[in-house]
């Protein structure tokens, strides 16, 4: 029985990493949003599974939040943003998809090395989870720094945060997980609202910092 | 000791008071009177301590660095320097009672002046590293505020900036040096430092750091660049303090560390000191000779005198290292005596410059001339000061340099070859410096006081008020007194010398006819009093004889000048033309370039001669540093203008890097 | 009683130098004229000149200050005191210890400083030229002089002239550094006394003149005093060279009358020889351009430094 | 007797320190009129400060969520004090902003509410006995400052707020991962559940925790919270956030928020330092600090905006403090604490002065501010005093801490002292250059006199000056055993 638990958990966590790679691979806006919804679904499944095997009912709440907020509301909202701002064309990446994927693989390897070394003592479940979670976090960051487009950066941030949730739930018996996930949802909500309100945020880069600093007289 | 503390407290209180009543008219007089009183009190107290030969007194205040507190201590050395400081400070305050009235913005001077005096006095009394450095930097800070007191001229702001920068560079070097002496245990008290001398390597480092720290404050070449900028920028009585007195505080710092705290010296320590000192002695006066600005000229000559003092200290170090206490005592006495003398005549000359400034509004000697008629009293004071600083008998400047020459003549006994070759060269530099300074001050006095007025302001000048005159003549009297009776000064400072090098010069007061004998009658002796007496007598004889036997007829007429028709004052010899021969002789050192632009015949344009003097040190040392800093600032400045994504990449990169480190961590 | 004698001898010395100075001047002029196959003025001419000058009235420039008027006396006094302190015919005079060789050099420096100042007082261009050049020469000559003093002092172990004289008479052989010092001292002496090749004492109204340019504005008694001072200076230097490098016949400390007599005679002889050599040198050389002079004096400085270094080094053998 | 009277207070001080700002947040959010709210804001912060002071007297037992010990009480008292003075300053400042119409009453309400929220967040973060709770609190504080930075809603303000927000969120995320890792490291030892996130537990059992996990955790934590501290290369948000937000917020950011983040880092440093087989966190902190010091020193030269310049000087000093704590040892830790306190006071005083200046002159451009000591003597000399203090000149407090840092470093690691001294000199040169431009010379711009009160500014400066000359021995003793606590 333990075995099954472990394999399923492992499968789900690994699935999350896989979906992160799919996110990295995506080069169309809507596709990206859909894949992110998938990401959230996998996360909520994994969290739910953890809740089941740890017998920690409060984790179901986390799973639910993840499902509702990240798999439904936010993707839809971002969809509308994309349409509103008319940026549903391709996503400019920095340094192409291929190298990015390679880098991603390197990051996964790194996280494996770091974590499996570190958690030699901990129980296997936790080890797997932590390693995958770190991988997801790093991939999320990688996505943020390799995408020029605001929406895809937000997506990257949210996938990063999914990794955190995964880690939090993987850490058996960790308190405050729900609160933390709520807090993060607030953060994400802020970001989305920000994109809504400040139209200037079409891209992080479009705020022509140079112009601003000329205006401030900062540049010589 | 208590007197000094009370006086320092009084000064600080006075500073606060000045802040409150800076607006009122009487403030100036009140503040300077208080300063005068405090300085006189400290002068008396320290003189009593020095002459009574009392034991060192220490006081421990529960302020400053916790678990150490502020330790204050007065021994012969600090007492001697306190005398020097407060003599100059008292004269300056007296002078300023009158001079301060010409200040256009007194509220920028009054609060800082007493603070400056207090700071200098605390440095002399400090007995632990923290108190020492705090007061040291406080002194710099308050004098910085005084330098920028007339802040509307951009060059004053520039001067103040360079000054405060160099000052805190010096403070940091001293901080490191004292940190080394204190050791990892952090025993910052001077007593602990004395008790455990550092290892040779550490000592060498300390020497370098102290040379940088105290040297930059004293104005040793090549750390002198701030001095000729900052000293003239301040009000004249403050310039007098900075040049005549504050540099002595720096000398005190050097002596305190190198001859007292650090323990027995090594012979080669004197080599770098000697090199820098002789360089200062010559370069300072050479540049002084080229200046048109009277106060800047005086500032440069300060560099020269500092060089002379440090030559003496270097000799003292060398003799002490090779265990020749008598010679060491002689050299140190010469240095300390010159400390006293320079503080006297340099302050005097700055007072004169201030008097000229307030009378004519000019600092440029090319615009002066003929002041001998307009300002008779100032003329006398200036003439005395010039004679003294030119090291001419029977005034005081000569005595200290004479003693220094005597010390140099003892150096063949030294075993080390490096010193054998170095010291005569230093002696030649010293003589060269003395001769050049005579030239320099003939120029300064002759151009500004003699001849015919070169500008209406100098024709219509009037002598300064009584306070300023008194301030000047007090110092002049002191110069004469030390010059005629040097024996008493030497005996007075014997205690300090004894404490530092273990012995003292033979007692001078008991020698017949009050002459001074450094080592033995047969070797050398000098009697300022008799020289003065003879000169006076023979002058009187000559005058009497002439007026007895020769005709007393006298007729005023136009100047003969080889029969040339009387020309207007502009045709007089100018300061630049006076300096021209020396400029040509030392052209390689000064990098002087003269360009003559001679219009073709028939062309009405005037011919022009323009002289450019380049300061190599600035070009080779300081310009590159500042250039490097600004270029790297420009380079790094690009980091201000990245996009958020790029900043994120920085974070990401840092994260991956550290993770890799952990991954490969054993 | 002994003090009385000492004071008397000291007084004799002071009067002697005063009396001999113009004579030396006249003597040199005479010899020079003879060497140039001219008849030349009588030897006593300088005395006459001084008398004549002192009888004339003084014509003073309008803006001449008190410094201009008191200057000559200062210069004269300083020079006279310096000359009085050099052992001429007797060592160990009463006040010989008042000032050593360094102090004497510095006394001459004071005299020079006043000379330069009075040159600038009236505010004529010639005075300025003279003053600036004089000071420029001095600023090279003085270090040279100090180096010479070092050399001698290191040999004699004293800077006290009478001690040096006695030391030299007794036990000192030929020394390389002494030779260098002598050479340097001669150069300095030529420069200090404004002799050819540095300056021409006989010139007037010539842009290269130095000493004359400074005293251009003087007349009457003032000029007389200045001339006297100049003559004293020449005497001083010759007797300096004499007492250091040819100290024979100088009466030792506490000597009898005969010794003094011998001393005076040998002294006068020394002056005669020195003056003759000086003139000989002057007639055989041409005056050099002003800006060659610093090199000339720089040579003296180098020689002095070399002598000192040699001694410093030889001390350790 | 005052103490037992305190002991019988209706509310425990700890709760008061948190409850007052929380309540004030809600009240201020609903109150419509702005002038009373400003005063209410001051009153609330004053009450918080008093409550914090009572913590000195009566120290409650460590609870499950909150606790008070020597370390965090330093920060709490300092923070609440600066919060109080800053609110006093902002009362007059904001009124002026309202007059010139940069803010509307509605935004002002929002502003005051957020101010209290910020105070609440910071106090909670400091008093939290639970690393998760602390994380939440710091996030709250961050969000409240984000909206205040953007409150002027100008192009630049929004841009700055956004930059702050994004970088801050990433930092927060990293910090959370680190927190989780610490929990994982503690779980085998302390057991599942809440206890494994409690400071008191963690610090007592620190030696037994899993070292490898702690290493990884510390990397995430120092990067996460270090972003808040503003250590280079994580500093990017700081200058713009300081420059574009309202000046009181700049003062609070520099004076408080950076300290809070630093406090978090210190807490974890203690745990790591107590674990023998974990990597020594000191060198990492020290090198990051040194990097920030030198980097900021160079950046100071090209600044045109006065607030941004002082923001960079904050980076410099945070680097210095981090360096001191990284060096460790009783002397350096003492110096670090002292320096942190002095820097908070001085820097907020400087920002008060800058606020007055920018309101009088109507600009933040250094080039348009000249001759201040002549046009506004009190303000100008106040600024000069502040800059002289921040530049580390005696007799002001920062000189003492810098003296201790440099000498102790030079005695232990001479090679580290050289870049340290160079960095200090470089920064010093830049600061003095700018201040002599601002304070001296021909005055330009408006000569209007300053309405706002100088009391907050000069009270800070007076404290700094006093500390430079005399440190009361209780404070010294207290700092010393905190330094021992820091190891």
Residue D133 above 80 pLDDT? Answer: yes
pLDDT tens track for C39-81: 989 999 999 999 999 999 999 988 899 999 999 999 999 999 9
The Cα–Cα gap between B428 and C141 comes to 11
**Confidence band of A10 (pLDDT split at 50, 70, 90):** confident
The Cα–Cα gap between D275 and D205 comes to 9
Residue in B closest to D169 by C-alpha: B648
pLDDT of residue D31: 82
Residue B143 above 90 pLDDT? Answer: yes
B70-74 and B57-61 strand pairing: antiparallel
pLDDT of residue B402: 95
Write the CB contacts of C242 (distance below 8 Å, at least 6 apart in sequence). Answer: C88, C267, C270, C271, C274
Asked if B141 and D394 come within 8 Å (Cβ–Cβ), the reply is yes
Give DSSP secondary structure letters for D350-416.
HHHHHHHHHHHHS--BGGG---HHHHSHHHHHHHHHHHHHHTT-TTSHHHHHHHHHHHHHHHH-HHH
> Looking at C3-7, D413-417, D466-470, which range is the least confident one?
C3-7
User: Once rounded to an integer, what is the mean pLDDT over residues B31-44?
Assistant: 95
pLDDT of residue D428: 95
The Cα–Cα gap between A111 and A131 comes to 6
- Touch test B–C: 3 Cβ pairs or more under 8 Å: yes
pLDDT of residue C212: 84
Domain boundaries along the sequence of chain B: 616-663
- Return the bridge partners of B557, or none: C61
**Higher local confidence (pLDDT), C172 or B588:** B588
Q: Contact at 8 Å (CB) between C158 and C101?
A: no
Chain B neighbors of D425, CB-CB under 8 A: 165, 168-169, 172
Chain D neighbors of B633, CB-CB under 8 A: 298-299, 301-302
The Cα–Cα gap between D126 and B123 comes to 43
Ramachandran quadrant class, B69 (left: phi over 0; alpha: psi -120 to 50; beta: rest): left
pLDDT of residue C207: 62
The Cα–Cα gap between B169 and B212 comes to 8
Q: Contact at 8 Å (CB) between B64 and D471?
A: no
Shortest distance, CA D187 to any CA of chain A (angstroms): 9
C-alpha angle D70-D71-D73 in degrees, rounded to nearest 5: 70
Strands (E), D202-294: none
**Confidence band of A209 (pLDDT split at 50, 70, 90):** very low
pLDDT of residue D49: 94
Chain D neighbors of B185, CB-CB under 8 A: 411
C-alpha Rg value of chain C to the nearest Å: 19
pLDDT of residue A214: 46
In this complex, the residue of B66, B178, B651 whose CB is nearest that of residue D234 is: B651
User: Containing H/E element for B595?
Assistant: strand B592-597
B657 shares contact with chain A (CB less than 8 Å): no
pLDDT tens track for B273-287: 999 999 999 999 999
> Looking at A160-164, B335-339, D193-197, which range is the least confident one?
D193-197
- Work out how many CB contacts closer than 8 A connect B with C: 287
Chain A neighbors of D128, CB-CB under 8 A: none
Distances B27 to A203, B107, B133, D354 between C-alpha atoms, Å: 64, 9, 31, 31
Q: Contact at 8 Å (CB) between D430 and D346?
A: no
B372 shares contact with chain C (CB less than 8 Å): yes
Residue in B closest to C97 by C-alpha: B525
Can you say how many angstroms the Cα of residue D315 is from the centroid of all Cα atoms in its chain? 11
- Work out how many CB contacts closer than 8 A connect B with D: 164
pLDDT of residue D59: 82
B133 shares contact with chain D (CB less than 8 Å): yes
**Spatial CA neighbour of A20 closest among A140, A169, A155:** A140
Residue B333 above 90 pLDDT? Answer: yes
The Cα–Cα gap between B272 and B254 comes to 14
pLDDT of residue C202: 74
In this complex, the residue of A121, A134, A183 whose CB is nearest that of residue D139 is: A183
Chain D neighbors of B129, CB-CB under 8 A: 407
Structural domain count of chain C: 1
Taking only residues 413 to 472 of chain B, the set having a beta carbon closer than 8 angstroms to any beta carbon of chain C reads: 413, 415, 417, 420-421, 423-425, 427-428, 431-432, 434-436, 438-439, 442-443, 445-447, 450-452
Asked if B179 and D407 come within 8 Å (Cβ–Cβ), the reply is yes
Residue in D closest to A163 by C-alpha: D177
In this complex, the residue of B137, B184, B662 whose CB is nearest that of residue D215 is: B662
pLDDT of residue D5: 53
pLDDT tens track for B59-83: 998 888 888 889 999 999 999 999 9
pLDDT of residue A204: 46
Domain boundaries along the sequence of chain D: 282-487
The rounded mean pLDDT for chain B is: 91
Chain A neighbors of B645, CB-CB under 8 A: 94, 144-145, 147-148, 153, 204-205
Which of A118, A121, A154 to mutate to test binding with chain D, by most D CBs within 10 Å of its CB?
A118
**Spatial CA neighbour of B502 closest among B622, B327, B303, B639:** B327
Taking only residues 519 to 558 of chain B, the set having a beta carbon closer than 8 angstroms to any beta carbon of chain C reads: 521-527, 530-531, 534-536, 538-539, 542-543, 546, 549-551, 553-558
C8 shares contact with chain B (CB less than 8 Å): no
- Return the bridge partners of B613, or none: B592
ipTM value of the model?
0.91
- Return the bridge partners of B74, or none: B57
Q: By CB neighbour count within 10 A (0-12 exposed, 13-18 middle, 19+ buried), where does B199 fall? A: exposed
pLDDT tens track for A118-150: 777 667 667 778 889 999 999 999 998 888 777
- Return the bridge partners of D365, or none: D305
Q: Contact at 8 Å (CB) between D456 and D85?
A: yes
pLDDT of residue A215: 46
pLDDT of residue D4: 56
pLDDT of residue C172: 66
**Higher local confidence (pLDDT), B643 or B362:** B362
CA-based torsion, D3, D9, D15, D21: positive or negative:
negative
Asked if A121 and D210 come within 8 Å (Cβ–Cβ), the reply is yes
Residue C179 above 60 pLDDT? Answer: yes
Residue D308 above 70 pLDDT? Answer: yes
Taking only residues 105 to 164 of chain A, the set having a beta carbon closer than 8 angstroms to any beta carbon of chain D reads: 114-115, 117-122, 126, 130, 133-134, 137, 141, 144, 153, 157, 160-161, 163-164
Asked if A219 and B641 come within 8 Å (Cβ–Cβ), the reply is yes
B633 shares contact with chain A (CB less than 8 Å): no
pLDDT tens track for B589-641: 888 888 888 888 888 888 888 888 888 888 888 999 999 999 999 999 888 88
**Higher local confidence (pLDDT), C279 or C253:** C279
The rounded mean pLDDT for chain C is: 88
C73 shares contact with chain B (CB less than 8 Å): yes
Residue in D closest to B139 by C-alpha: D394
A173 CB neighbour count, 10 Å cutoff: 14
B178 shares contact with chain D (CB less than 8 Å): yes
Which of D327, D436, D442 to mutate to test binding with chain B, by most B CBs within 10 Å of its CB?
D436
Asked if A213 and B642 come within 8 Å (Cβ–Cβ), the reply is no
Of A40-54, B202-216, D201-215, the range with the highest mean pLDDT is B202-216
Chain A neighbors of B641, CB-CB under 8 A: 209-210, 213, 218-219
pLDDT of residue D210: 86
B659 shares contact with chain A (CB less than 8 Å): yes
pLDDT tens track for A165-176: 888 888 877 887
Q: Contact at 8 Å (CB) between A84 and A199?
A: no
D428 shares contact with chain B (CB less than 8 Å): yes
**Confidence band of A208 (pLDDT split at 50, 70, 90):** very low
Domain that holds residue C233: 2-315
Residue in A closest to B649 by C-alpha: A145
Chain B neighbors of C66, CB-CB under 8 A: 372
Which of B20, B129, B160, B172 to mutate to test binding with chain D, by most D CBs within 10 Å of its CB?
B172
Q: Contact at 8 Å (CB) between A141 and B652?
A: yes
Asked if D436 and B180 come within 8 Å (Cβ–Cβ), the reply is no
Write the CB contacts of B528 (distance below 8 Å, at least 6 apart in sequence). Answer: B393, B394, B398, B399, B483, B484, B485, B486, B516
Judged by DSSP in three states, C256 sits in coil
The Cα–Cα gap between B414 and B265 comes to 15
User: Containing H/E element for B74?
Assistant: strand B70-74
User: Containing H/E element for C29?
Assistant: helix C2-35
Domain boundaries along the sequence of chain A: 2-216
Chain A neighbors of D180, CB-CB under 8 A: 164, 167-168, 171, 174
pLDDT of residue C1: 65
């Amino acid at each position: 029985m333990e075995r099954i638990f472990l394999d399923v958990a492992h499968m789900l966590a690994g699935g999350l990493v896989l979906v992160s790679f799919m996110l990295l691979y995506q080069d169309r806006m809507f596709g990206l949003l859909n894949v992110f919804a998938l990401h959230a679904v996998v996360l909520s499944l994994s969290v739910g599974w953890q809740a089941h095997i740890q017998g920690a009912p409060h984790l179901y709440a986390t799973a639910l939040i993840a499902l509702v907020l990240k798999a439904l509301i936010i993707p839809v909202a971002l969809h509308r943003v994309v349409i509103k701002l008319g940026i549903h064309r391709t996503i400019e990446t920095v340094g192409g998809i291929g190298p990015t994927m390679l880098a991603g693989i390197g990051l996964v390897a790194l996280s494996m090395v770091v974590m499996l070394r570190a958690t030699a003592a901990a129980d296997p479940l936790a080890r797997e989870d932590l390693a995958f979670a770190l991988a997801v976090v790093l991939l999320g960051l990688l996505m943020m720094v390799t995408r020029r487009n605001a929406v895809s950066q937000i997506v990257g941030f949210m996938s990063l945060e999914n990794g955190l949730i995964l880690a939090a739930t993987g850490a058996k018996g960790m308190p405050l997980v729900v609160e933390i996930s709520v807090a993060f949802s607030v953060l994400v909500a802020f970001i989305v609202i920000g994109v809504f309100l400040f139209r200037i945020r079409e891209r992080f880069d479009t705020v022509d910092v140079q112009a601003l600093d000329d205006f401030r007289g900062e540049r010589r | 000791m208590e007197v000094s503390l009370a006086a320092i407290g009084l000064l600080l209180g006075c500073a606060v008071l000045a802040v409150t009543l800076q607006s009122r008219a009487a403030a100036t007089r009140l503040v300077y009177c208080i300063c005068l009183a405090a300085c006189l009190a400290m002068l008396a107290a320290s003189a009593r301590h020095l002459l009574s030969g009392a034991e060192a007194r220490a006081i421990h205040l529960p302020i400053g660095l916790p678990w150490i507190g502020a330790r204050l201590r007065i021994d012969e050395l600090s007492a001697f320097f306190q005398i020097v400081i407060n003599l100059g400070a008292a004269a300056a305050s007296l002078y300023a009672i009158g001079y301060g009235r010409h200040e256009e913005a007194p509220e920028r001077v009054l609060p800082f002046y007493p603070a400056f005096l207090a700071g200098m006095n605390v440095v002399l009394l400090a007995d632990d590293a923290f108190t020492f450095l705090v007061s040291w930097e406080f002194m710099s800070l308050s004098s910085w505020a005084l330098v920028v007191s007339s802040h509307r001229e951009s060059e004053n702001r520039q001067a103040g900036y360079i000054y405060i920068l160099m000052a805190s560079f010096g403070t940091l070097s001293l901080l490191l040096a004292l940190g080394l002496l204190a050791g990892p245990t952090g025993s910052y008290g001077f007593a602990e430092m004395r008790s455990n001398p550092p290892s040779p390597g550490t000592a060498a480092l300390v020497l370098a750091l102290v040379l940088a720290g105290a040297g930059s404050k004293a104005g040793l070449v090549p750390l002198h660049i701030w001095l000729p900028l900052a000293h003239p920028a301040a009000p004249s009585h403050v310039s007098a303090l900075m040049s005549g007195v504050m540099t002595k505080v720096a000398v005190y710092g050097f002596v305190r560390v190198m001859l007292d705290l650090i323990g027995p010296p090594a012979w080669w320590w004197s080599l770098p000191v000697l090199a820098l000192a002789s360089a200062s002695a010559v370069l300072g006066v050479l540049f002084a000779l080229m200046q048109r600005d009277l106060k800047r000229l005086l500032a440069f000559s300060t560099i020269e005198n500092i060089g002379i003092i440090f030559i003496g200290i270097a000799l003292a170090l060398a003799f002490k290292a090779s265990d020749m206490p008598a010679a060491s005592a002689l050299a140190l006495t010469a240095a300390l005596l010159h400390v006293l003398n320079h503080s006297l005549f340099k302050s005097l000359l700055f007072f004169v410059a201030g008097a000229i400034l307030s009378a004519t509004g000019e600092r440029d000697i090319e615009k002066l001339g003929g002041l001998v008629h307009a300002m008779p009293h100032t003329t006398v004071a200036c003439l005395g000061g010039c004679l003294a600083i030119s090291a001419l008998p029977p005034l005081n400047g000569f005595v200290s340099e004479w003693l220094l020459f005597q010390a140099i003549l003892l150096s063949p006994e030294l075993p080390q070859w490096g010193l054998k070759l170095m010291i005569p060269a230093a002696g030649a530099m010293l003589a060269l410096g003395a001769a050049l300074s005579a030239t320099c001050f003939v120029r300064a006095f002759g151009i500004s006081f003699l001849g015919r007025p070169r500008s209406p302001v100098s024709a219509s000048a009037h002598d300064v008020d009584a306070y300023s005159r008194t301030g000047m003549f007090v110092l002049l009297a002191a110069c004469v007194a030390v010059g005629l009776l040097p024996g008493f000064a030497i005996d007075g400072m014997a205690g300090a010398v004894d404490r530092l090098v273990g012995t003292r010069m033979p007692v001078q007061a008991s020698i017949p006819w009050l002459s001074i004998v450094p080592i033995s009658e047969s070797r050398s002796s000098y009697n300022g009093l008799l020289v003065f007496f003879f000169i006076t007598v023979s002058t009187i004889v000559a005058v009497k004889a002439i007026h007895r036997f020769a005709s007393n007829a006298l007729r005023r007429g136009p100047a003969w000048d080889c029969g040339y028709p009387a020309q207007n004052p502009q045709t007089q010899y100018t300061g630049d033309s006076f300096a021209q021969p020396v400029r040509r002789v030392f052209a390689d050192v000064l990098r002087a370039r003269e360009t003559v632009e001679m219009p073709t015949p028939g062309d009405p344009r005037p011919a022009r001669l323009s002289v450019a003097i380049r300061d190599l040190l600035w070009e080779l040392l300081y310009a590159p540093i500042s250039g490097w800093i600004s270029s790297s600032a420009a380079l790094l400045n690009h980091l201000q203008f990245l996009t958020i994504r790029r900043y994120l990449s920085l974070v990401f990169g840092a994260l991956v890097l550290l993770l890799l480190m952990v991954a490969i961590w054993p | 009683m002994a003090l009385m004698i000492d004071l008397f001898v000291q007084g004799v010395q002071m009067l002697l130098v005063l009396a001999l100075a113009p004579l030396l001047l006249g003597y040199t002029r005479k010899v020079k004229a003879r060497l140039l196959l001219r008849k030349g003025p009588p030897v006593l001419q300088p005395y006459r000149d001084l008398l004549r000058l002192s009888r004339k009235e003084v014509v003073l420039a309008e803006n001449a200050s008190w410094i201009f008027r008191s200057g000559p006396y200062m210069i004269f006094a300083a020079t006279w005191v310096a000359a009085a302190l050099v052992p001429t015919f007797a060592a160990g005079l009463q006040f010989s210890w008042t000032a050593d060789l360094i102090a004497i050099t510095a006394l001459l420096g004071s005299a020079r400083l006043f000379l330069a100042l009075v040159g600038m007082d009236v505010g004529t261009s010639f005075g300025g030229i003279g003053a600036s050049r004089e000071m420029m020469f001095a600023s090279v000559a003085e270090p040279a002089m100090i180096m010479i003093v070092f050399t001698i002092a290191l040999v004699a172990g004293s800077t006290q002239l009478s001690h040096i004289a006695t030391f030299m008479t007794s036990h000192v052989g030929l020394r390389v550094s002494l030779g260098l010092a002598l050479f340097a001292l001669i150069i300095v002496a030529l420069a200090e006394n404004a002799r050819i090749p540095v300056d021409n004492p006989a010139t007037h109204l010539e842009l290269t003149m130095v000493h004359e340019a400074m005293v251009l504005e003087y007349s009457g008694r003032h000029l007389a005093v200045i001339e006297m001072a100049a003559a004293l200076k020449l005497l001083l230097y010759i007797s300096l060279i004499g007492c250091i490098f040819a100290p024979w016949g100088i009466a030792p400390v506490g000597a009898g009358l005969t010794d003094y007599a011998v001393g005076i005679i040998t002294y006068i002889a020394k002056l005669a020889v020195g003056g003759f050599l000086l003139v000989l040198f002057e007639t055989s050389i041409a005056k050099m351009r002003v800006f060659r002079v610093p090199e000339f004096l720089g040579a003296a400085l180098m020689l002095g430094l070399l002598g000192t270094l040699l001694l410093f080094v030889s001390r350790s053998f | 007797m005052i103490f037992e009277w305190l002991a019988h207070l209706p509310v425990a001080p700890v709760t008061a320190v948190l409850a007052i700002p929380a309540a004030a947040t809600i009240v201020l959010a609903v109150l419509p009129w702005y002038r009373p709210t400003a005063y209410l804001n001051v009153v609330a912060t004053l009450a918080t400060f008093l409550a914090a002071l009572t913590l000195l007297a009566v120290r409650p037992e460590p609870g499950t969520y909150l606790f008070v010990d020597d370390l965090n009480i330093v920060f709490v008292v300092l923070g609440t004090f600066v919060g109080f003075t800053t609110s006093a300053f902002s009362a007059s400042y904001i009124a002026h902003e309202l007059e010139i119409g940069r803010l509307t009453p509605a935004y002002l309400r929002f502003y005051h509410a957020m101010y209290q929220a910020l105070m609440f967040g910071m106090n909670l973060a400091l008093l939290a006995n639970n690393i998760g709770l602390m994380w939440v609190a710091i996030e709250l504080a961050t969000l409240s400052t984000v909206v205040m930075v953007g409150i002027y809603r100008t192009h630049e303000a929004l841009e700055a707020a956004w930059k702050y927000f994004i970088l801050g969120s990433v930092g927060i995320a990293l910090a959370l991962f680190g927190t989780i890792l610490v929990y994982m490291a503690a779980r085998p030892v302390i057991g599942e559940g809440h206890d494994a996130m409690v400071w008191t537990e963690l610090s007592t059992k620190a030696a037994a925790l899993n070292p490898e996990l702690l290493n990884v955790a510390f990397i995430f934590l120092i990067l996460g919270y270090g972003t808040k501290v503003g250590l280079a290369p994580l500093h990017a948000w700081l200058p713009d956030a300081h420059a574009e937000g309202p000046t009181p917020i700049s003062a609070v950011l520099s004076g408080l928020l950076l300290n809070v983040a630093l406090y978090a880092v210190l807490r974890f440093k203690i745990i790591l330092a107590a674990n023998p087989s974990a990597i020594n966190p000191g060198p990492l902190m020290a090198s990051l600090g040194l990097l920030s010091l030198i980097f900021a020193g160079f950046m100071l030269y090209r600044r045109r905006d006065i607030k941004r310049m002082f923001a960079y000087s904050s980076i410099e000093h945070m680097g210095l403090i981090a360096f001191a704590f990284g060096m460790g040892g009783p002397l350096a830790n003492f110096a670090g604490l002292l320096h942190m306190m002095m820097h908070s006071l001085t820097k907020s005083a400087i920002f008060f002065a800058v606020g007055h200046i920018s309101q009088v002159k109507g600009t933040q451009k250094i080039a348009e501010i000249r001759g201040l000591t002549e046009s506004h003597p009190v303000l100008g000399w106040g600024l000069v005093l502040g800059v002289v203090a921040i530049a580390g000149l005696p007799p002001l407090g920062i000189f003492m801490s810098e003296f201790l840092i440099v000498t102790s470093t030079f005695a232990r690691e001479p090679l580290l002292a050289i870049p340290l001294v160079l960095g200090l000199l470089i920064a010093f040169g830049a600061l003095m250059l700018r201040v002599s431009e601002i304070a001296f010379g021909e005055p330009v711009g408006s000569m209007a006199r300053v309405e706002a009160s100088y009391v907050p500014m000069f009270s800070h400066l007076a404290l700094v000056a006093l500390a430079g000359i005399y440190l009361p021995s209780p404070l010294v003793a207290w700092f010393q055993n905190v330094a021992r606590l820091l190891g």
